[in-house]
Amino acid sequence: MKTLLDCKKTCKVRVIKLNAAAELKQRLISFGVMKGAEVEVLEHAPAKKTIEVKVGKMRIALRDQEAALIEVEKI
């Protein structure tokens, strides 16, 4: 199982599943991170603690813990 955390910089993936709890899931969905969405990894903060991704036209920052809950596949 590959998650968003495993992705390298500039890597483009598609979301297959969100393993987050209900609240966080709603949050991710409202940001456009949902099943079928294409996500591009833009930047890692020092020590990969935080990552910046692009969904559609929106850039969002996620912590490593949250990124690990997002199952993805390569496109």
53 DSSP β-pair partners:
41, 60
Task: For residue 64, give the H/E element and its range.
Answer: helix 64-67
Quick check: 60 and 52 in contact, CB under 8 A? Answer: yes
Closest contact distance (angstroms) between CB of 74 and other proteins is: 19
If binding is defined by CB under 8 A, does position 31 make contact with other proteins?
Answer: yes
If binding is defined by CB under 8 A, does position 38 make contact with other proteins?
Answer: no
If binding is defined by CB under 8 A, does position 14 make contact with other proteins?
Answer: no
Quick check: 59 and 52 in contact, CB under 8 A? Answer: yes
Q: List residues binding other proteins (CB under 8 A).
A: 18, 20, 22-32, 34-36, 42-47, 49-50, 52, 56-63, 65-66
